[in-house]
Amino acid sequence: MYRKSFIFLVILFIFSIVIPVPVYGNSQEEDDLYPITLIDDLGLEVTLTKKPERIVSAAPSNTEIIFALGLEERLVGRSDFCNYPPDAERIESIGVMTPLNLEKIISLEPDLILAYGGFGTKDIPKLRELGFKVLVIEAFSLEEMLHSIEFIATACGIPEKGKELAADLTKRISTILSLHAHIPDMEKPKIFTGSGFETIWSPGSGTIFDELITLAGGKNITGNQQGWVPISPELVIETQPDIIIIPTGSMNPEEVTKMKNDIIKRPGWSGLPAVKNNHIFVVNEDLLYREGPRLVEGLELLYEIFHKIREE
């Protein structure tokens, strides 16, 4: 899936040089688009008979897409983890992402529920049995994230707005690709992503984080492994990373200085190029994991870090 996504983005980059990125406007009345039948990321068909006016988002990524599309006025419910943009926290909460608080969701009388895949799917059959329209959205790459934007926009009656946003993000991705396209692979910095925890988890092939590292011009030291993998401290020593990225946020809320010190004090790590040169960066994990428009911001941030270190 990753290789397919990377090729897809390279093709988009080539075409962005030749063909101007189009500017879209709504050429059709929203209500004229319905009824519409969509196939969500579980492969299930959902038919919407009218434009959704009351939307519940059960995932932060969906909430960020809703706001990016200018649809926040239709949002009547969001999960506890939907913390961006700040205005999202003013929306009534439905609680945690799993298990879903069915009673709360039902009380909000939504005409569309934007759910999440994986662990978030077990409560969905009950909602559908009750007659609610539920679309499951889960992206595993930048390409799929762009699709999610257009998918949600189409479901909400503004397909051209979704195309416009996706085109803008694609142009930004293409710009990053062009900035390091000339750099030989051997000159790209080696990247370790992790923390000083006893068990170290790093992103491998097939994760969005690995894709971002590669597209930003870095070489992920765990890129030859699949998915999120537990790695040994010895592997980090063996690969000698030039840069260490520490994701921080709700999943890893420790104080920044402590996180850096835990890395520096780890036995055998003081000689790592990243440690010796103080190339340890703490980055907001939402820019690297959350499957919404800010993934492109995360890509741009990683590029800035990698470029700065490469130029030193």
Dihedrals phi, psi of 202, to nearest 5 degrees:
-130, 150
Question: What are the tens digits of pLDDT across the range 159-205?
Answer: 999 999 999 999 999 999 999 999 999 999 999 998 767 788 999 99
From the options 3.90.79.10, 3.40.50.12780, 3.40.50.1980, 3.40.50.10800, give the CATH code of 183-311. 3.40.50.1980
Q: Where in the chain is the domain with CATH 3.40.50.1980?
A: 2-175, 183-311
Type of residue found at 299: L
Question: What are the tens digits of pLDDT across the range 269-291?
Answer: 999 999 999 999 999 999 999 99
C-alpha atoms less than 13 angstroms from C-alpha of 156 in its C-beta half-sphere: 31
Q: What is the DSSP string of 76-122?
A: EEEETT---SGGGGGSPEEE-SSS--HHHHHHT--SEEEEESGGGGT
**Nearest residue to 155 via CA among 64, 36, 63, 71:** 36
Asked if residues 16 and 2 have their Cβ atoms less than 8 Å apart, the reply is: no
Asked if residues 188 and 306 have their Cβ atoms less than 8 Å apart, the reply is: yes
The pair of structure tokens assigned to 287 is 């820019």
Asked if residues 261 and 241 have their Cβ atoms less than 8 Å apart, the reply is: no
- The hierarchical CATH code for the domain 2-175 is 3.40.50.1980
Question: What are the tens digits of pLDDT across the range 102-140?
Answer: 999 999 999 999 999 877 688 899 999 999 999 999 999
pTM for this structure? 0.89
SS3 5: helix
**Nearest residue to 192 via CA among 256, 126, 283, 267:** 283
**Percentage, residues of the chain above pLDDT 90:** 78
